[in-house]
Homo-oligomer: A and B are copies of this chain.
Amino acid sequence: MNESITQYKCSICNQLLAPNEGGAINGVWFCDDHLKNQNNLSDIQKTEPKYNYPIQTVGIKDLKFPIYISEKNGGKQHTVADIEVYVSLDGDTKGTHMSRLAIGVQKFSEYQLHKDLMINIAEYIKNKCESRRCQIIYKFPYFISKIAPVSKEPGMIHCDVVFDLISEVDEYLFTVTVTTTTTSLCPCSKEISNNGAHNQRSKVKLSGSVSNGFVLWIEDLVKIAEDCSSCEIYSVLKRPDEKYVTEKAYENPNFVEDMVRSIYDKMIKLPLVDFDIQVANEESIHTHQAFARMKRNKEDVVNYK
């Protein structure tokens, strides 16, 4: 009689297994050698460290995931995020179980990303890791529809967004950072030149922190940046639009200093805990950037990165 016999291989060393050799865990086969000690794995992380200093920030970064978030107009937008997750670690424990941080992100990956979801992920992870503190950061490109100013041709630009949630025992701080691109035209160049004026891309980076119910929309930060520049940027511009943006920038010249001051004047009116304004003009007449920064924080002290 012909009996078909399934023969297994060790998934580690590829060795063929004799009928009574080895064994399987969750359907994965191992030879005797690679099977041994499988049920008896030490937990080195739980042991005593050599130096028992507490660590405030330990975790993982550069974990990439697809996400989706709500647009201000009610739409839903799919994008991809680079994620960082950190916890605090007490002085008497050698290591964090890093897999629990990745599992925390994975578990909530089907849900729409917003501040409250991040608070929930942080609670889950603080609980799993027995930590007092958890910080979660999502960095992602965000897309905004832009209709060309005269031809009304549809287009799309992107900005770079960071959602940063710090969850402590009884409080949290949520910070939204948006880096977007606008046009700036130099007032000095315009004033002293017979014709023309040099102009360039400005990278405007705006951060605002809240610890309450105020919602700071990405779209609103982009709007502030655009309103304080010489002209907005578009992805599609037909000739009447190109005329428009050229003339508009020429009529609205702005130094990098003018831009941060105008933005400061708008940000100071929002109910924010802290905020930070950075503008870098990629000068078309130099290889270097012109840069200005204004910060306001709780302690009313300006720190430098």
Interface residues on A, range: 35 or more
A95 touches B (CB below 8 Å)? yes
What residue of chain B has the Cβ atom nearest to residue A107's Cβ? Answer: B154
Query: What's the minimum C-beta distance from A270 to chain B, rounded to whole angstroms?
Result: 16
Chain A residues 186 to 212 lying within 8 A of chain B, measured CB to CB, are 186-201
Chain A residues 28 to 54 lying within 8 A of chain B, measured CB to CB, are 28, 33-34, 36-38, 41-45, 49-53
What residue of chain B has the Cβ atom nearest to residue A33's Cβ? Answer: B194
What residue of chain B has the Cβ atom nearest to residue A278's Cβ? Answer: B57
Give complex CA distance A94, B253 in Å. Answer: 12
From A111-119, A217-225, A290-298, the one touching the partner chain is: A290-298
Contacts of A50 in B (CB 8 A): 258, 261-262
Q: Contact check: which of B238, B243, B248, B288 meets A60 at CB < 8 Å?
A: B288
A6 touches B (CB below 8 Å)? no
What residue of chain B has the Cβ atom nearest to residue A51's Cβ? Answer: B261
Which of A78, A135, A152: most chain B Cβ within 10 A? A78
Identical copies of this chain, number: 4
Q: Contact check: which of B68, B190, B200, B257 meets A89 at CB < 8 Å?
A: B257
Contacts of A239 in B (CB 8 A): 41, 43, 188, 192
A80 touches B (CB below 8 Å)? yes
Give complex CA distance A102, B89 in Å. Answer: 41
Contacts A55-B294, A66-B77, A288-B63; A235 near B193 (Cβ below 8 A) = no
Contacts A80-B79, A155-B102; A192 near B284 (Cβ below 8 A) = no
Contacts of A89 in B (CB 8 A): 257
Query: What's the minimum C-beta distance from A76 to chain B, rounded to whole angstroms?
Result: 10
Contact in complex: A58, B257 (CB < 8 Å): yes
Q: Contact check: which of B196, B261, B292 meets A250 at CB < 8 Å?
A: B196
